[in-house]
A and B are shown apart, each in its own frame.
Chain A
Amino acid sequence: MGGTQPVLKAIYRLAWKDVMADFRHRSTFSSMLFFSVAVLLVFQAAFEPDPREAQRLVPGLLWTTVLFTTIMGLGRVFQSEEENGAFEGLMLAPLPRGAIFFGKWLGNLTLSLMVMVMLVPLTLILFNVTLWSHVPMLLFLLFLGTMGLTALGVLLAAMTQTARSRETLLALLLLPLVSPLLIAGVQAMAVVITTGDLSGPWLNLLLIFDAIYLALAPWGFGWLVEE
């Protein structure tokens, strides 16, 4: 236990630093939140669903909004390090590279989840959908999906951080790779809404995706930042 305790603490500290710094001045959180509301507005203007259609559209709406919002947050994961030349400092920290990855991942995941907690009720209100009893299950599914999404996303953010037009590149790389996650998430959510059942093959696919990317992304990150 003595061996893992400091590493876990370091992961937590790194995540806490990012979340706190964000609340103090970088304000990714509020941009993400209002961006997600803007996406909802765009959907409403584009499709004008009546409440029955809206109910059918909810899984797709939620996942697309989450995907776009997450991409926005991911674009900033390594931004402050890059701007202030602090990335080398972070890499010099006496920590395994995997721990640095998990710290950044946890910070980003926390911010994304806070956005989602507000996004789900907002979606139900704005689209006049009465699915209030499903909110915990919807949030749980979004939480599961976001774990894998941000694991892959933080790795791709690290990959593209020094690139020109990095945000466009990040979206171009992330969208095709997470398409299975999106399919599984939407299908699992549709099952929850129609039958109230939180199980089945799509949930398993979501879990498999999470497991693969949480296991492999730290390894990829280690290769990426190796000098």
Chain B
Amino acid sequence: MNRLFALNRWLGWLTLSLLAAALWLVFTAPVDYQQGNSVRILYMHVPSAKMALFVYIALTLFSAWHLWKKSETADILAEASAPVGAAFALVTLVSGSIWGKPMWGTWWAWDARLTSMLVLLILYMGVIALRNGIDDPIKGGRATAILAIFGAIDLPIIHFSVSWWRTLHQPPSFGQASTGSTITGPLLPPLVWMSVAFIFLGTYLVILKAREIRGRKILENLETERTSHA
């Protein structure tokens, strides 16, 4: 793990330069003929939505790995993933909201994707709260891992039922805008670059957080050793 932490510094610089390059592309891209400059929010919104989901998949895999092999590394990585994923989910919701006000005329709509993302954010917060709530780190780690796996099973059901609910109930009034308006031409490269930069950003943040958690664990172990000797 220490080697990973050592490499992370370079990953950080790489992320920063990728983000800078992607941002430059974002601001030099032409404006959308309908949305004007608001379209630029999309370059942050779409990658963070992807990352919010992607980090949850990683969290599930770390959790399964932890349950199966009792690996402490997997436990630390799972603990580190949750806040990073929550941050991406929050960025997605907030940026979507800011974009939604001028485009849809409303900050929020109970659309299938919005609702699923909100549930994902609450789920992340639940995973974080459960771990913080249990004093015994071994029990807490195991309970959190099981919760994360159950969340992963539940998320497709949530998405499915919510989109079903919204389509059976009333057709979304902004169908054209929300159901994947195909993006082409000069607007595409900044999105691709931004997505790559966000993947690096997510990885960097998770490793950074993992380093902090491991440091804390080492410190706690020293503390218990010291008090037991005294």
Given A162-B134, A164-B133, decide whether A173 and B157 contact each other with a Cβ distance below 8 A. Answer: no
Q: Is A184 in contact with chain B by the CB < 8 A criterion? A: yes
Q: Which residues of A contact B83 (CB under 8 A)?
A: none
CB <8 Å contact, A159 and B143: yes
Tell me, rounded to whole Å, the shortest Cβ–Cβ distance linking A37 to chain B.
28
Q: Which residues of B contact A164 (CB under 8 A)?
A: 133-135
CB <8 Å contact, B165 and A187: yes
- A176-227 residues with Cβ-Cβ distance < 8 A to B are 176-177, 179-180, 183-184, 187, 201, 205, 208-209, 212, 216, 220, 223-224, 226
Q: Is B151 in contact with chain A by the CB < 8 A criterion? A: yes
CB <8 Å contact, B122 and A172: yes
Q: Which residues of B contact A156 (CB under 8 A)?
A: 147
Q: Which residues of A contact B123 (CB under 8 A)?
A: 176-177
CB <8 Å contact, A172 and B136: no
Q: Is A166 in contact with chain B by the CB < 8 A criterion? A: yes
Task: Give the residue name and chain of the A residue nearest to B118 (CB).
Answer: A176
Name B residues whose Cβ lies closer than 8 Å to a Cβ of A: 67, 119, 122-123, 125-126, 129-130, 133-136, 139, 142-143, 146-147, 149-151, 153-154, 157-158, 160-162, 164-165, 168
CB <8 Å contact, A224 and B146: yes
**Alpha-carbon separation in the docked complex, A88 to B165 (Å):** 44
CB <8 Å contact, A155 and B133: no
CB <8 Å contact, B129 and A172: yes
* Chief secondary structure at chain A's binding surface: helix
* Chain A residues with a Cβ closer than 8 Å to the other chain, count: 31
Tell me, rounded to whole Å, the shortest Cβ–Cβ distance linking A62 to chain B.
18
One digit per residue, 1 when the CB lies within 8 angstroms of any chain B CB and 0 when it does not, for chain A 4-41 equals: 00000000000000000000000000000000000000
Q: Which residues of A contact B119 (CB under 8 A)?
A: 176, 179
Known: A162-B135, A165-B133, A169-B130. 17 other contacts (CB 8 A): A155-B146, A159-B143, A159-B147, A162-B134, A173-B129, A173-B147, A177-B150, A177-B151, A179-B161, A179-B162, A180-B158, A183-B161, A201-B168, A212-B153, A216-B150, A223-B67, A224-B143
CB <8 Å contact, A162 and B154: no
Given A169-B133, A184-B161, A216-B153, decide whether A223 and B142 contact each other with a Cβ distance below 8 A. Answer: yes
Q: Is A44 in contact with chain B by the CB < 8 A criterion? A: no
CB <8 Å contact, B129 and A169: yes
Q: Give 3 closest A-B pairs by Cβ, nearest first.
A: A163-B133, A180-B161, A176-B122
Q: Which residues of A contact B147 (CB under 8 A)?
A: 156, 159, 173
Tell me, rounded to whole Å, the shortest Cβ–Cβ distance linking B139 to chain A.
6
Tell me, rounded to whole Å, the shortest Cβ–Cβ distance linking B144 to chain A.
9
